Structure 1
Amino acid sequence: MAGAAVAAAGPAQWVQANVTGNGLAVLTLDRPKALNAMNLDMDIIYKKYLDEWATEPTVKSVLIQSSSARAFCAGMDIKGVAAALQEDRASTLPYQVFAAEYSLICEIANYKKPYISLMDGITMGFGIGLSGHGRYRIVTERTVLAMPENGIGLFPDVGFAHIASRSPGGGAVGAYLALTGARISNPADALYVGLASHYVPSQDLPPLKEALLQLDLSGDAYQKVEELLGMFSKTPEDEPKLKGLLATIVSCFGRNLPVSGIIEALQAEEQSEDPAVAEWAKGALEGIKKAAPLSLAVTQRHFADVAAAASDTKNPLSQIEGVMRKEYSLGTKTSMRPDFLEGVRAVLIDKDQNPRWKPEDIKHVDHLELEEVLSPLEGHPPPF
């Protein structure tokens, strides 16, 4: 029996689907030991369900949840991709994974039925990709949001630049989160940044889900979902911390400064007489210090480009599809660099937290290498 149980554990069990009698399609991520990290097979199954439900008349709305309160989704299955590259540096798995993830993000962003994510617990990386582009993004007091990819030699992808470009300060707050990997662990900031649409205390999630299961979704499902969420959502007791720091964040991250300039601006703010500003600047510098220098340079350029394009509808980077095509190139290129395997080793495998980046300092980032990473990927056009 034990052998049968082990054999049964796999992608089909990690992504579970059920359509209820009222037309609510429920997709449950159930890989708790890996914090619901998504591998390629899970991506494919997830998209298969969304594709089916998009054209199924009896499905009126989609609910995404986790089986565990600890994590909604901690991101991509980083170890799996790194292991494939460690075995074969010519592995095509990165191309496959990024294609699957990014096409899924485009579908979520354009989904024609109410798409509700219960972002309870850890929601990072691709977890934000699965939720942050949807219409209804529910956080709780247990939600922890972050984009820590620079710390493993990649860059903050999953279309976060698109979300960031619409964040306060003309995208400055989003750029700050991307470059530092800072965590958001309070609902007020999640709402302020735009990563959340509603705050529902975790104790109210069971009755909310029960109400969704009982909701009459015939007619205008969007209106009915919004009315129900309005009944359960609360206003956070605290003010968003990032709102009080906005002027400083814009000064450091909103002027299209190179990474070296951002570091200098933060060092100056670290001397501020305002304790909140000084503490924030210190934390931001610590986050940047942990990141791969080339990843930081790529992030700064990419996020600045997307923010600049936000109001220009003729620029492909103003649309999520254009951003994802650009990130398909950036993602595959950064994953092929030695920093990625080194970052995974230091952070996730050996856990010595002492990666040896190439280059080791932002001052030594080669301009030509940076431009090569930013240039279009040749030979592998985005399949979406």
Structure 2
Amino acid sequence: MGRETYTGDVAFEVRGHLGIITLNRPKALNSLTELMCESIRIQLEDWAQDDAVAQVLIRGAGDRGLCAGGDVASLYYEMVELQPRDGGPVLPEGTPAYQAEFAAERFFATEYLMNLRIAEYPKPYIALMDGVVLGGGVGVSAHGSHRIVTERSRIGMPETTIGFAPDVGGTYLLSRAPGQLGVHAGLTGAHLSGADALHLGLADTYVPSGGLEQLVGELTTAPVEEVLPRFAEHPEPSELAEAGWIDQAYTQEDVSGVVQLLEELGQSIPAAAETAKTLRSKSPTMVNVAFQAIRQARELSLEGALSQEYTVAVHALRSHDFREGIRAQLIDKDRNPQWNPVALELVDDDLVAHYFTPVPGKLLNLR
């Protein structure tokens, strides 16, 4: 018998010596709310002090995946209220909108604190990265100690599609992938297979999805170090591991140079041509910001990367592209965002630097 402590958008249960977190919004693909993030953090802290709980596992309700990310559609109307539609790429600092407190700022701060607590958790933290694991879903899983993928895993950081940049510590994780693969994944928002995620260091173990239920059952009575090897298998090889053109292209000093070289390589490598086309479809500003953020995160701790991501988020909330990206993808769903600036080559260094400039009174406190 288990003991259930809370059921709602996120459910907590103890079975044997296993604490189980179930993201419980299957109709929304288990997308995260601020309350869910705060509840997870508090429950983790309680279980850390509970001798009856030896290890923790997180999973998603339903059959589509762990989590599709944060519930960003709810941010749209708040941004519309403070950012006029005919405004420039970003509101000038010092305007009332920079002094106003967005509810989204509280959401990001709460989520990032949860991400850090997961990374620092003193007990085994087991993440079932089955099915869709996007954005915030990576944040609740890839910082764990035991990260399990399956043949159904589709893992990615698609933020540039909605005029945002990888966050939830994603820049930290991607910056430590082999070669330039993390930069490629973060800029394109590509969905990674389980094998790709293993190669990039976003996961540790491959288990066929059919074995997950039995795996969870055995984890209620035995430690993960003993149980997991019995279920682990070798996946098919990672396709990205063989894509040498990625390292060649992304070593350029700026995004315009990357895309230009991809287009040249694309004359003989179709995947490179398709990647160039993909990058040109994303927010030009945020592709440039993401490129810089992932590179800078190579020299940062996870806490430093989260703080950098928060500063980017503060500015993004007051930008044209984040609002427009959410509109095009999630509100009107016309998939036709009108970016400003409209092309990668029109994004200047000052605009990119703006996103990394801390705003007084809006700094992330993780301790």
- Aligned with 2:317: secondary structure? helix
1:162-201 paired onto structure 2 within 5 Å: 162-169=172-179, 172-184=180-192, 186-201=193-208
1:87 Cα offset (Å): 4.1
Q: How many residues align?
A: 345
1:323-364, Cα deviation, whole Å (9 max, x unpaired): 111111111211220111111111112111110111001111
- 1:287 and 2:286 are equivalent in the alignment: no
Q: Please, which of 342, 352, 357 is the counterpart of residue 370 of structure 1?
A: 352
Indicate whether 1:151 and 2:161 are aligned: yes
Residue aligning to 1:322: 304
Indicate yes or no: 2:200 matched with 1:205: no
Seen in structure 2, the aligned counterparts of structure 1 residues 126 and 39 have a Cα distance that, compared at 3 Å, is: same
User: Within the alignment, does 1:353 sit opposite 2:335 as a pair?
Assistant: yes
Pairs within 5 Å for 1:259-274: 259-272=255-268
State, as a whole percentage, how many aligned pairs show the same letter: 37
Q: Match of 1:13, as an amino acid? A: G
Match of 2:92 in 1: none
- Aligned equivalents of 1:269, 1:227: Cα separation in 2: 47
Matched, 1:81 2:75: yes
Q: Which residue of structure 2 aligns with residue 18 of structure 1?
A: 13
Amino acid at match of 2:287: L
**What residue number does 1:341 align with?**
323
Indicate if the aligned counterparts of 1:12 and 1:42 stay in contact, CA closer than 8 A. no
Deviation, 1:85, is 2.5
The equivalences for 1:1-12 within 5 A come to none
Aligned to 2:105: 95
AA matched with 1:147: M
**What is the Cα deviation at residue 212 of structure 1?**
1.0
The AA in structure 2 aligned to 1:177 is: A
What secondary structure does 1:37 align onto?
coil
Amino acid at match of 1:59: V
Q: Using structure 1 for the length normalisation, give the TM-score.
A: 0.87
Report whether the alignment pairs 1:68 with 2:62: yes
Are the aligned partners of 2:109 and 2:310 in contact in 1 as well (CA < 8 Å)? yes
CA deviations on 1:105-162 (whole Å, 9 max, x unpaired) are 1111111000000111110000001101111111111111111101111111111111
State the shift of 1:369 in Å. 2.1
Is the 2:280–2:343 Cα contact (8 Å) retained in structure 1? Answer: no
Aligned partner letter, 1:266? L
2:219 and 2:77 mapped to 1: Cα distance?
41
Counterpart CA distance in 2 for 1:56 and 1:270 is 56
Task: Provide the secondary structure at the position in 2 that maps to 1:131.
Answer: coil
2:123 alignment partner AA: K
Name 1:105's counterpart in structure 2.
115
Preserved contact between residue 29 and residue 66 of structure 2 (Cα < 8 Å): yes
- Structure 1 residue 46 and structure 2 residue 56: aligned? no
Query: For the Cα contact (< 8 Å) 2:207–2:231, is it kept in 1?
Result: yes
* Secondary structure of residue in 2 paired with 1:214: coil
Instruction: Choose which of 237, 240, 254 in structure 2 pairs with 1:239.
Output: 237
Corresponding letter in the other structure for 2:289:
V
Q: By how many angstroms is 1:26 displaced? A: 0.5
Give distance in 2, aligned partners of 1:65 and 1:203: 15
The question of whether the paired residues in 2 share the 8 Å contact of 1:180 and 1:285 is answered with no
CA distance in 2 between counterparts of 1:49 and 1:31 reads 18
What is the CA–CA distance in structure 1 between the aligned matches of 2:7 and 2:289, rounded to whole Å? 36
Distance in 2, Cα, partners of 1:377 & 1:71: 36
Note the C-alpha offset of 1:88: 4.9
Cα shift at 1:290: 1.9
The one-letter code matched in structure 1 to 2:247 is V
Whole-Å separation in 2 of the counterparts to 1:87 and 1:49: 35
Q: Matched residue of 1:280: which SS? A: helix
**Structure 1 counterpart SS, 2:113:** helix
| 1:239 positional shift | 1.4
1:383 to 2:365 alignment = yes
CA contact (8 A) 2:68 2:135 kept: yes
Structure 1 residue identity aligned to 2:320: P
**Equivalent AA in structure 1 for residue 228 of structure 2:** L
Is residue 18–residue 221 contact of structure 2 (8 Å, CA) maintained in 1? no
Whether contact under 8 Å (1:98, 1:332) holds in the other structure is no
Q: In the alignment, which residue of structure 2 is the partner of 1:250?
A: 247
Aligned to 1:226: 225
**Whole-Å separation in 2 of the counterparts to 1:332 and 1:231:** 45
